[in-house]
Structure 1
Amino acid sequence: MPSLDWSPNAYAANPALSDLSVLISGPPIKDPGALLRYALPINNKAIREVQKPLEDITESLKVAGVKALDSVERNVRQASRSLKQGKSLIISGLAESKKDHGVELLNKLEVGMEELQQIVEDRNRDAVAPKQKELLQYVGECATIKWFAGNAASLTSHIVVEFVLFAQIVEEDMVDGFPYEVPEEYRSMPLLKGRAAVDMKVKVKDNPNLEECVFHIVLDGYNAPVTAGNFVDLVQRHFYDGMEIQRADGFVVQTGDPEGPAEGFIDPSTEKTRTIPLEIMVDGEKEPFYGATLEELGLYKAQTKLPFNAFGTMAMAREEFENNSASSQVFWLLKESELTPSNANILDGRYAVFGYVTENEDFLADLKVGDVIESIQVVSGLDNLVNPSYKIAG
């Protein structure tokens, strides 16, 4: 099992596989968007019953030709039925301050699914384009869908993306403030109380097929407020701008080790390395565990809210035997191996995941050591950052 080390001390090593680490059951969810939706701090079964069949359409569309539309039709009927039956329960779960917005979206989603259902039943390819344009008006900046010519099944998949985004926005409207208090010893650190998104622009060397790429990354402060807050704070300091990719071996892409003897971020106000605790949120818990791996806590069967399931899972590196030694070095998981299958991943519960690459993640595999991060910019959610040390430092 390859380790994730940049330096002699700062790395994410992989201990021997525990017999109990393979007991996590259930079909693995590998789509980063779906993982982020399920990681939201909500408990509303009704909206999940709408979300699931919409996401299942992705699998339905893998069937060749128009036969795929038969499965898509069943998916849409199921989602539409669940929305009608559970609409009042969904509305009751909306945060009071966001209720009007959520109801408006639900109404649009309900009408849109009825129209999509008719489009699929009619096998009416020409009706797909105007319907998509209508939906794009509602979605706005939540997604940019590229229109392309193709068969009805392919076009329908883009409509489905819009509906899933509707469901996600409604789910986000169910979150009313930040759901718990960070432990007092970490409360003064930069914290991301919610979600944020960044665009990471990388200049690629010696690749005739790819000169530059922008990776869109969603950071989840609901489940990793200290870890995500530390990263956003460093982004705002331009810490990563101009830094090279320091490892790219087909298993992970890594960066974050600054020049010089330091292995992490040196806080100018203290002239010491700023470190953050290991932070792991477990499914069913109200707040993260700090300072210990799940194995050390005896939680062998626990499932993390942010698992290493998706291509482009983003996490913090740390020293092997120091749980609270993470600082600035980050890595992205590229692929499953024999010891890191989705839902039974020995990295889960040992390293703090705090986000996923949601756009252009496939291009991570094309990055090489020496490629340069031209910039990382926060494009949304900066107002969720509290205690920003970059402001204090000026």
Structure 2
Amino acid sequence: MAAIISCHTHSFSFFEAPRKLATPGSRSNCIKSSSPAHRFKPLCSQKSNAFESISEQRDWSSSIKKGAISIALAVGLLGGFSDLGSLESANAAAIAPALPDVSVLISGPPIKDPGTLLRNALPIDNKAIREVQKPLEDITDSLKIAGVKALDSVERNVRQASRALKEGRTMIVGGLAKSKVDDGVALLKKLEAGFDEMMKIVEDRNRDGVAPKQKELLNYVGGVEEDMVDGFPYEVPEEYKNMPLLKGRATVDMKVKVKDNPNVEECVFRIVLDGYNAPVTSGNFVDLVERHFYDGMEIQRADGFVVQTGDPDGPAEGFIVPSTEKVRTIPLEIMVVGEKAPFYGETLEELGLYKAQTKLPFNAFGTMAMAREEFEDNSASSQVFWLLKESELTPSNANILDGRYAVFGYVTQNEELLADLKVGDVIESIQVVAGLDNLVNPSYKIAS
């Protein structure tokens, strides 16, 4: 929804959440002239009335009531302003009760690294491997110390992780799925050898060698943790079980041709899709990738906040199933921390779960999610977006996108180049490079 807080009081922006792009009649204007209908617009102007008609004012009044809790979250996260500016007192009163719930969403610095978010989202419960993971991730903070002094902190991190592995090895191996024990043990041996290699890097005072080795070690840890997942952990609801489903994870490479940028000509973005927490959403996307649905499609929105694509040519705003000639839609799918299966068909605020934390939050630069119609939870089809900016209304760790849009993956390589994409840049191809065997009920025809 479009949440507005008066700039005369707080200097906020006009916020428009990602949604399906318009039909071609208006979409052409959006692409060629950056129509404000699909961009974030400055609210401040010299007009005394921010709306152009009485009907728009009525629409606003209706919309704000529907989204009162979302605005309350945004305001509360910005410090709990008591004055909501130009909002009517009745609307302010409706918002107020939600404010006490906001504080529980903020439980420390947000995790913004996509690799960490993906590791934490795995359906496992093994304290021993997490105690190896954490100090290795803390190396990132250690490297913020100036000069070679950072290496002393890195050394402590590595020693802590190594000690945790030695002390918890029995529990870690015991947590491996029976069919994956050999692979998991092999990864643990590589991890142990990697600790010795990292210590040599520290001894040589080679600060530049730390980050690449850290990434390698965390990849081993992530592999061990994935080897702890024994099959798919829950049953997808009956009404969705025959749709394309990703029962696990998959990795795709998205190759984009960049126009009119002398610094960047071609980008390949690696994206990890998480079917453990969003099997329907991820399965739908992989199925479309295998149909080459996105190949040759332009970037259709790039406003500094999100990059969005997936609206095909023609009147339809999603993927048309050839056999039915109807748009295929998928349900809103949100996995919550502490739950064994996702919630379907309703936002978390509609469910009254104001304190819930999502397993796949909008924390990382390059968070990937489905666009949909604003007040139609189950209207997503093919349009996807990547979050770029942490704005006033979407601070990491607790924001008005979490629980309202279905996140299903993160860009894990070259994510910083997303900011260079523009409307009109072309997706040359998206290819599945790992995990295609986790897709069930594919609707495309696999070539022999």
Tell me the amino acid that sits aligned with residue 378 of structure 1: V
- CA drift of 1:269 comes to 1.2
Structure 1 position 109 matched with structure 2 position 191? yes
State whether structure 2 residue 104 is matched by structure 1 residue 23: yes
Aligned residue pair count: 366
For 1:298, the equivalent position in structure 2 comes to 352
Question: Residue 342 of structure 2: which of 282, 288, 313 is its match?
Answer: 288
1:129 alignment counterpart: none
Which shows bigger deviation, 244-253 or 338-347?
338-347
Q: Which aligned pairs between 1:24-63 and structure 2 lie closer than 5 A?
A: 24=105, 25-63=107-145
Choose from 248, 255, 259 the match for 1:194: 248
Q: Which residue of 2 aligns with 1:7?
A: 21
2:218 paired with 1:164: yes
1:340-355 map, 5 Å: 340-355=394-409
Q: Which runs of 4+ in 1 moved over 6 A?
A: 9-14
Shift of 1:319: 0.7
CA-CA distance at 1:6 after TM superposition: 4.7
**Letter matched to residue 375 of structure 1:** S
CA distance in 2, matches of 1:65, 1:258: 51
Deviation at 1:115, TM superposition (A): 4.3
Q: 1:265 aligns with which of 306, 319, 324?
A: 319
Give the TM-score, by structure 2 length.
0.79
SS of residue paired to 1:4? coil
1-structure distance, mates of 2:194, 2:297: 45
Q: Distance in 2 between matches of 1:100 and 1:115?
A: 23
Instruction: Give the Cα–Cα distance (whole angstroms) in 1 for the partners of residues 446 and 194 of structure 2.
Output: 47
* Structure 1 contact 21–301 (Cα < 8 Å) conserved: yes
Cross-structure match for 1:226? 280
CA RMSD, Structure 1 to Structure 2 (Å): 2.0
Q: 1:392 to 1:205 in 2, by over 3 A?
A: closer
Q: Which moved more, 1:98-107 or 1:373-382?
A: 98-107
| Residue 234 of structure 2: aligned partner | 180
1:126-165 pair list within 5 angstroms: 152-165=206-219
Deviation of 1:393 after TM superposition, in Å, equals 11
**Cα 1:246–1:59 shift into 2, 3 Å:** same
Paired with 2:182 and 2:446, the residues of 1 have a C-alpha distance of 37
Letter in 2 for 1:253: V
> 5 Å matches for 1:201-220?
201-220=255-274
Instruction: Give, in angstroms, the shift of residue 116 of structure 1.
Output: 2.6
Aligned-residue identity in percent: 77
Q: 3-state SS of the aligned residue for 1:270? A: coil
Moved more, 359-368 or 384-393: 384-393
**Contact 2:201/2:207 (<8 A) preserved:** no
Match of 2:393 in 1: 339
TM-score (norm: length of structure 1): 0.89
Q: Return closer, same or farther for 1:2/1:346 CA change in 2, 3 Å cut-off.
A: same
Match of 2:329 in 1: 275
Q: 1:321 to 1:6 in 2, by over 3 A?
A: closer
Q: Match of 2:173?
A: 91
Inter-CA distance 182–65: structure 2 relative to 1 (3 Å threshold): same
8 Å Cα contact 1:180/1:286 also seen in 2? yes
1:117 to partner: Cα distance: 2.7
Where do 5+ consecutive residues of structure 2 fail to align?
A: 1-14, 28-37, 40-62, 74-98
Q: Residue 373 of structure 1 is aligned with which of 403, 424, 427?
A: 427
| Distance in structure 2 (CA, Å) of the matches to 1:272 and 1:354 | 24
Distance 1:392 1:164, change over 3 A: closer
Higher RCO structure (Cα 8 Å, ≥6 apart): 1
